[in-house]
Amino acid sequence: MVCKGIEELLSPYLEDELNPEEKLAVEEHLKTCQICADLFSFMKETKESLADFPELDVSENLINQLYSIPSKKKRFKLSLDFLVRPSLQPIFTAATILLIMISFYIFHPNKNLIDKSIDRQIHLGFSKIGRLYAKAESFTYSLAEYKDNILVSIKNVKFFRENEE
């Protein structure tokens, strides 16, 4: 058997889990192959070292923290559970954006300039709306003036006259 095949049998050989033929094959190979014999001895050393690893004690601080987990969890549930609902996320996002905008406005060094520009924009908006309203009114009047003429013209359209007949 070649070294690769023997390598795979070394661990079960170490634990005495091979059948007699396989065991014999490994033993024969280890007698003649120094590389595999070395590898086996290192594997044995590894297994013994691992078994000898110390078990560490848990610090008192960690024990206390572990004991406080259930009560911590309960408090969280009572007070903050509703905050993690997905349905509230758009509201939180909008509130965050609003807060950022407000804080930007409050803490801006040229707050007066912003105030003035907001004022100007509001006034411009109002005057635009006023003009639009005036235009709409004049359009309504002109429509009323031409209402009779329009109706007569519609009645004279060939399509409607044919229908009447």
Partner 1 sequence: MLVNAYSKRIFNMAFQFSGSYEEAEDLTQEIFLKLYNSLSKYNFEKNFSAWFLTLTRNHLIDQYRKTKWEKKIRDDFNEYSLVSDTFTSPEEGILKEESKKLIWEGFNHLSSEIRMAVILRDIQGKRYDEIAEIMSLPLGTVKSRVNRGRLQLAKILKEKKEDKNGM
In this complex, which beta carbon is closest to partner 1, that of residue 11 or of residue 117? 11
Q: At closest approach, how far in Å is the CB of 90 from partner 1?
A: 27
Quote the least distance from Cβ 37 to partner 1, whole Å: 11
Helical H runs in the chain?
3-14, 20-32, 34-51, 60-67, 69-80, 89-107, 111-156, 158-164
**Please, are residues 77 and 44 in contact by the beta-carbon 8 Å criterion?**
no
The footprint of partner 1 (CB under 8 A) covers 7-8, 10-12, 14, 38-40, 42-43, 45-47, 49-59, 62-63, 65-67, 69-70, 73
Quick one: 41 or 93, whose CB is closer to partner 1? 41
3-state secondary structure of 98: helix
Shortest Cβ distance from residue 124 to partner 1 (Å)? 54
Residue type, 27: E
